Chains A and B, each alone.
Chain A
Amino acid sequence: GQNIDQPTEMTATEGAIVQINCTYQTSGFNGLFWYQQHAGEAPTFLSYNVLDGLEEKGRFSSFLSRSKGYSYLLLKELQMKDSASYLCAVNTGFQKLVFGTGTRLLVSP
């Protein structure tokens, strides 16, 4: 079976740091993606992890532990425009992605 768990909703304040967790159990693993999706828009690519460890890209970082089936997305210096849904997705092979339900992040002033 395929199972990906993320919190449904999180709130944070502008300028703060937030960590969005994702745990997964899938048949097949060829990397984990994080996407950002604003309401009514397409998901946009944020990060990709295939090896254990931290990948940093500007204000966004993503971590992976394959042995624990765990990843997180870290957002620093939050801005109002970061209010969106964040989707964790496992590549089960040949770019076939299994997505979590998404974490809706609300950033307040």
Chain B
Amino acid sequence: ETGVTQSPTHLIKTRGQQVTLRCSSQSGHNTVSWYQQALGQGPQFIFQYYREEENGRGNFPPRFSGLQFPNYSSELNVNALELDDSALYLCASSLSRTGNSPLHFGNGTRLTVT
């Protein structure tokens, strides 16, 4: 069983640029969520996708957007990058949206904005 995979693993961008991060969910998982984890902090919920529709959003501005594809893979796009966007971006998938279905996380993309 293939787990959650993310690409790229590391990325360096300049303030004002745009970035796209990619995620392949675990086999059979139809729900994908994105989290931002700043250094020394817990992950913060960005948004969730279920059956290709955004299904809930955390406290992030509209320049954070996403997509989910028919094969349940997903993209996170960030426009007009700011220095504070430097963080580990984690993708997580789950088998369902019921309570006891744990999130399975990928290893993340480390984004550095200079």
Using a CB–CB cutoff of 8 Å, the interface residues on chain A facing chain B are: 4, 30-31, 33, 35, 41-45, 48, 50, 87, 89, 91, 94-102
Contacts and interface: CB of A to CB of B under 8 A. Distances in A.
Interface of B: 4, 31, 33, 35, 40-45, 48, 50, 55-56, 58, 90, 94, 96-108
Contacts of A94: 48, 50, 55-56, 97
A-B complex: 6 closest residue pairs judged by Cβ atoms: A99-B42, A42-B105, A45-B102, A94-B97, A31-B99, A30-B99
B33 A96 contact: yes
Contact of B99 (A41, A43, A50, A101): A50
Contacts of A97: 33, 35, 43, 45, 103
A72 B98 CA distance: 22
Q: Is the interface of B mostly helix, strand, loop or mixed?
A: loop
Nearest to B41: A101
A101 B107 CA distance: 18
Contact of B56 (A30, A96, A100): A96
B97 A95 contact: yes
Contacts of A95: 31, 33, 48, 94, 96-99, 101, 103
Contact of B102 (A30, A33, A100): A33
Contacts of B105: 35, 42-44
A41 B104 CA distance: 12
Contact of B108 (A42, A48, A91): A42
